Amino acid sequence: MNADRYDYLDLVTTVDGSGVARIRLGGELDWETADDLTAAARSCLTADPPPRRLRLDCAGLTLCDSLGLAALLMIHRKAGETGTPLHLDNRPPLLDRLLELTGTAYLFATAEEAGGRMAAAEQAAATRPAPPPPPSS
């Protein structure tokens, strides 16, 4: 196995005319590359003016370890500080699984996803049988 083949993260940053910044990720987001993504996102978020939105296109992501997740969480926090909505687009199953296992998926949910989860929870609560009455003494 050639270890060098796997130790890379390809980042392509663009800002469109509407002020939306996009960072396309390709490769592995891990302990060797997480700082590169954090630096690219920080550069976008500290621009004057900051972008209207920051979108991370994760379609090319092949691995995300705990430090990759830490980088995403740091970017989420920094985006919140600047008032810039953050989106993780085209999340591969490996990233969705990591976010679900760590209980952090809600931080990156779209408004539609958050609304859908709330509606499903409300529906489940509405169809849940009522608890039995307390025993009489």
Do the domain assignments include residue 131? Answer: no
Q: Which two tokens stand for residue 116?
A: 């859908």
- The pLDDT-based confidence of 22 (bands split at 50, 70, 90) is very high
- The pLDDT-based confidence of 13 (bands split at 50, 70, 90) is very high
Q: Please report, rounded to a whole number, the percentage of residues in the chain having pLDDT higher than 90.
A: 72
For residues 87 and 53, the answer to whether their CB atoms sit within 8 Å is: yes
**Rounded mean pLDDT, 16-22:** 94
Do the domain assignments include residue 120? Answer: no
Q: Which two tokens stand for residue 120?
A: 């499903």
**Rounded mean pLDDT, 59-82:** 96
Backbone phi, psi, residue 12, to 5° = -125, 120
Do the domain assignments include residue 118? Answer: no
54: Cβ contacts below 8 Å, ≥ 6 apart: 20, 21, 22, 23, 41, 44, 45, 75, 79, 84, 85, 86, 87
CATH of the domain at 64: 3.30.750.24
User: What CA–CA distance (Å, rounded) separates 29 from 61?
Assistant: 7
Q: Is the pLDDT of residue 3 over 60?
A: no
Do the domain assignments include residue 128? Answer: no
What is the domain range of residue 18? 8-109
**Structure pTM?**
0.78
* pLDDT number for residue 38: 97
Do the domain assignments include residue 137? Answer: no
* pLDDT number for residue 110: 73
Number of folded domains that form the chain: 1
Do the domain assignments include residue 100? Answer: yes
- Per DSSP (E only), the strands in the chain are 9-15, 20-29, 53-64, 86-89
Q: Amino acid identity, residue 39?
A: A
Do the domain assignments include residue 86? Answer: yes
Do the domain assignments include residue 94? Answer: yes
pLDDT tens digit sequence for 36-58: 999 999 999 999 989 999 999 99
Helix-helix angle 34-45:66-82, to 10 degrees: 10
**36 vs 26, 43, 112, 129, CA distance in Å?**
12, 11, 30, 51
pLDDT tens digit sequence for 72-116: 999 999 999 999 999 999 999 999 999 999 999 999 987 666 666
